C-alpha cells in the first residue's frame, strides 16, 4: 500500500467525512489517545509521565493518554496550558480523574513527557510559558512523545511558526502522514513517526502526494525477461568532460550498468579518451568530436546522462542541444544544469516530458531563480519547476522531492546523511538513466532510482563514499526482486 501524505485541509476533510458518516469526535479522540498510549507502552517501561495539554483537541487527546497510562500503572501528572476550549476536549478532561495543574515553563521531573499542546493545524507561533517550555524541552534527556506533530510547526510545510518549537523522540499521528512530518525541520523534530489507524474512512484518490516507496513503481520495475540479450536490456550513454574532468561521468556510467542497463557507453571528447580508457572495463568507450557524433550516439541510445563532470559552459550547452533532438531521454545533472544559468528557458525549450532534471538546491536556484524562496515549501516549488521545465524535476536533499509536469509528486523518507558525499549525485543520475534505458517511465525511474540510492546509503552507513554505492545496489535489487509475488515463476530466483 502506497502511503499518502495529506495536507492539513485534506485531513480536516477526512475528519469531516468521518463525522458525516456517524463517527463521533469523542470516539475518534478516544482511539487517538489509546493509540498514543499504546505506542508509549510498547516502547517505554511504566514510570512517571507528564502530559502537557493545550486547549484544543490535541490537548483532548492528551487527557485520554493520561487516563490510559494511569490505568496501566503509570504515575501521571497533567499540566494544562489553558482550560479545554472544545466540547470534545472538555469531555475528555472531565473523564481524567487525577489532578490538573497549570503548565510549568520548566519541565517537572519525570521519565517521559507527552506534548499534547497543539496539532498539525497550528497557525501561529508559540508564546509565553509554552514557548519557554519548548526551549527547555530541547535540553531534556528523557523521551518526549508528540501527539500529531511536535507543537510549534506548520503541518503543511514542516517549518517553524515561531522561534520556539518542541522536538520529540516519537510522534504519533493519525490516519495519514502530513506534509509537516516529511519536510525539514518538522521531520527532524518528529523522531520516529507512527501513523495510527483511528478508523477514519479511506480517502484513496484524494491525495496528490505520496511517500516514495516501492509500491508506487515496483509493478513497472524493468526485470529482464529470461531470453533477453544485452541490447534489449537498455542502452545508456553518459557524456564525459575533457581530460582532467572525467571521474564523475564514469561514476554515473558504472551506476547505470549496476542498475541493470545492458550496455553502457561513455561518450568521451577525443582528448579525454586515454584517461577514460585507463579506468573502464565493462563500460564501453566511444569518442565524439562534433554535434553530429553526439546526435548519432543519442539516436543509438535509450537514455543519456549529461552533467556529471561535463564542464560548465558553451560546450556543454551545445552538447545538450545536440542530444535533445534525438530519441533518447535525457538525465540532466550538475554542470549541464549550471551551464544554463544565464538562460534556463533555452534548457526548458529543449526538454520534453521524458527528460529528468536532478538539481541540488544550489543548482535549482540557478535554473529556477527565486522559486524556492517564494514557495511555501519544496514540494510546491518542485511541482512548479516541473511545470515550467516541462520535464520531471528531482530536488535533492534529505527530503528529496520528485515531481512530474502533470502535478504528480513524491517525497522520499528513506534518505540518510551518509549520502551527503562527493559523487553521490552522479551515482543517482546513473541509476535513473539506467532505469529509463531499461524502459521505465522517467517519473517512475526517478522515484525508483532515489529509493534504491537511499537504501544503498542506509545499508552502508558510516564511511560511505560514492564508489561504494553501485556495489551496494545488487543486494537492494535482490530485496526488491524477492518482493515480487511471481519471482519463482519468472525464473529470476537464484539457482534457476
Ligand atoms: N483530525 C482528526 O480526525 C482527529 C484529530 N484529533 C486531534 O485534534 C487535534 C486538532 O485539534 P484542534 O483543531 O482543536 O487544534 P489544536 O492544535 O489542538 O488547538 C487549537 C487551539 O489552540 C489555540 N491556539 C492556536 N495557536 C495557539 C498559540 N500559538 N498559543 C495559544 N493558543 C493557540 C486555538 O485558539 P484560536 O486560534 O482559536 O484562538 C485553539 O483553541 C489534532 O492535532 C489531533 O491531536 C483527535 O482528537 C482525533 C481525531
Ligand atoms: K503536539
Query: Which ligand 1 atom is nearest residue 125's CA?
Result: 29
Q: Which ligand is nearest to the CA of 117?
A: 2
What grid cell was written down for 89?
Answer: 476536549
**Is the CB of residue 393 below 6 angstroms from any atom belonging to ligand 1?**
no
Q: Are 236 and 449 in contact (CB under 8 A)?
A: no
ipTM above 0.90, yes or no: yes
What gap in Å lies between CA 138 and CA 134, rounded to an integer? 7
Q: Write down the pLDDT at residue 140.
A: 97
DSSP 3-state of 60: helix
**Cα–ligand 2 centroid distance for 73 (angstroms):** 23
What grid cell was written down for 300?
Answer: 543509438
Question: Beta strand 235-239 with 303-306: parallel, antiparallel or unpaired?
Answer: parallel
Q: Where are the domain boundaries for CATH 3.40.50.10260 in the chain?
A: 5-207
What gap in Å lies between CA 75 and CA 166, rounded to an integer? 23
To the question of whether residue 57 is assigned a binding role by annotation, the answer is yes
What gap in Å lies between CA 273 and CA 330, rounded to an integer? 22
Q: Where are the domain boundaries for CATH 3.40.1190.20 in the chain?
A: 214-490
Q: Write down the pLDDT at residue 14.
A: 92
Question: Beta strand 409-411 with 401-403: parallel, antiparallel or unpaired?
Answer: antiparallel
Q: Are 24 and 88 in contact (CB under 8 A)?
A: no
Mean pLDDT per block of 10 residues along the chain (496 residues) reads 89 92 95 98 98 98 98 98 98 98 98 98 96 96 98 98 98 97 97 96 81 96 92 95 96 98 98 97 97 97 98 97 96 98 98 97 98 97 98 97 97 96 98 98 98 98 98 98 77 56
| Exposed/middle/buried for residue 81 (C-beta within 10 Å: 0-12, 13-18, 19+) | buried
To the question of whether residue 398 is assigned a binding role by annotation, the answer is yes
**Is the CB of residue 61 below 6 angstroms from any atom belonging to ligand 1?**
yes
What gap in Å lies between CA 423 and CA 467, rounded to an integer? 8
What gap in Å lies between CA 387 and CA 348, rounded to an integer? 10
**Cα–ligand 1 centroid distance for 303 (angstroms):** 50
Q: Which ligand is nearest to the CA of 114?
A: 2
**Cα–ligand 1 centroid distance for 64 (angstroms):** 15
Q: CATH class for domain 214-490?
A: alpha beta
Q: 5-207 maps to which CATH number?
A: 3.40.50.10260
Q: Write down the pLDDT at residue 496.
A: 37
Q: Write down the pLDDT at residue 264.
A: 98
Helix-strand-coil split of the chain, %, nearest 5:
45, 15, 40
For residue 444, the surrounding DSSP H or E stretch is helix 442-460
**Is the CB of residue 119 below 6 angstroms from any atom belonging to ligand 1?**
yes
Q: Are 116 and 148 in contact (CB under 8 A)?
A: no
Query: For 134-262, where are the E strands, in sequence order?
Result: 144-147, 170-174, 177-178, 192-196, 209-211, 235-239
Amino acid at each position: 500500500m502506497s502511503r499518502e501524505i495529506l495536507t492539513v485541509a485534506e485531513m480536516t476533510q477526512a475528519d469531516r467525512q468521518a463525522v458525516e458518516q456517524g463517527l463521533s469526535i469523542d470516539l475518534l479522540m478516544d482511539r487517538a489517545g489509546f493509540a498514543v498510549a499504546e505506542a508509549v507502552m510498547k516502547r517505554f517501561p511504566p514510570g512517571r509521565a507528564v502530559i502537557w495539554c493545550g486547549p484544543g483537541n490535541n490537548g483532548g487527546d492528551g487527557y485520554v493518554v493520561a487516563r490510559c497510562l494511569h490505568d496501566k500503572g503509570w504515575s501521571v501528572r497533567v499540566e494544562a496550558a489553558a482550560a479545554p476550549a472544545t466540547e470534545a476536549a472538555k469531555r475528555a478532561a472531565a473523564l481524567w480523574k487525577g489532578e490538573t495543574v497549570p503548565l510549568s515553563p520548566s519541565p517537572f521531573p519525570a521519565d517521559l513527557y507527552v506534548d499534547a499542546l497543539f496539532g498539525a493545524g497550528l497557525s501561529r507561533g508559540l508564546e509565553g510559558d509554552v514557548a519557554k517550555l519548548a526551549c527547555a524541552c530541547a535540553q531534556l534527556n528523557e523521551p518526549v512523545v508528540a501527539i500529531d506533530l511536535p507543537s510549534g510547526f506548520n503541518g503543511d510545510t514542516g517549518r517553524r511558526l515561531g522561534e520556539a518549537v518542541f522536538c520529540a523522540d516519537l510522534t504519533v499521528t493519525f490516519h495519514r502522514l502530513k506534509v509537516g512530518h516529511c519536510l525539514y525541520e518538522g521531520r527532524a523534530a518528529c523522531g520516529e513517526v507512527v501513523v495510527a489507524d483511528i478508523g477514519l474512512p479511506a480517502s484513496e484518490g484524494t491525495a496528490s502526494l505520496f511517500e516514495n516507496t516501492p509500491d508506487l513503481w515496483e509493478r513497472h520495475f524493468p526485470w529482464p525477461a529470461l531470453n533477453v540479450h544485452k541490447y534489449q536490456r537498455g542502452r545508456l550513454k553518459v557524456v564525459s568532460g575533457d581530460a582532467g574532468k572525467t571521474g564523475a561521468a564514469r561514476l554515473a556510467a558504472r551506476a547505470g550498468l549496476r542498475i541493470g542497463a545492458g550496455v553502457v557507453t561513455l561518450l568521451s571528447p577525443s582528448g579525454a579518451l586515454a584517461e577514460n580508457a585507463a579506468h573502464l572495463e565493462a563500460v564501453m568507450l566511444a569518442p565524439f568530436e562534433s554535434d553530429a557524433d553526439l546526435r548519432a550516439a543519442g539516436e543509438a541510445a535509450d537514455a543519456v546522462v549529461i552533467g556529471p563532470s561535463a564542464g560548465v559552459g558553451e560546450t556543454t550547452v551545445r552538447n545538450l542541444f545536440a542530444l535533445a533532438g534525438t530519441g533518447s531521454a535525457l538525465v540532466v545533472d550538475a554542470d549541464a544544469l549550471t551551464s544554463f544559468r544565464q538562460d534556463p528557458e533555452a534548457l526548458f525549450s529543449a526538454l520534453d516530458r521524458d527528460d529528468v532534471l536532478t538539481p541540488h538546491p544550489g543548482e535549482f536556484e540557478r535554473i529556477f531563480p527565486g522559486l524556492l524562496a517564494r514557495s511555501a515549501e519544496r514540494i510546491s516549488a518542485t511541482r512548479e519547476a516541473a511545470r515550467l521545465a516541462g520535464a520531471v524535476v528531482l530536488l535533492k536533499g534529505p527530503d528529496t522531492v520528485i515531481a512530474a509536469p502533470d502535478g504528480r509528486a513524491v517525497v522520499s523518507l528513506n534518505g540518510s546523511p551518509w549520502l551527503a558525499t562527493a559523487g553521490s549525485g552522479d551515482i543517482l543520475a546513473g541509476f535513473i538513466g539506467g532505469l529509463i534505458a531499461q524502459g521505465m517511465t522517467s517519473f517512475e525511474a526517478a522515484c525508483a532510482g532515489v529509493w534504491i540510492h537511499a537504501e544503498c546509503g542506509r545499508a552502508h552507513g558510516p564511511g560511505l563514499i560514492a564508489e561504494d554505492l553501485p556495489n551496494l545496489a545488487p543486494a537492494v535489487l535482490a530485496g526488491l526482486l524477492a518482493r515480487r509475488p511471481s519471482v519463482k515463476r519468472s525464473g529470476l530466483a537464484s539457482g534457476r
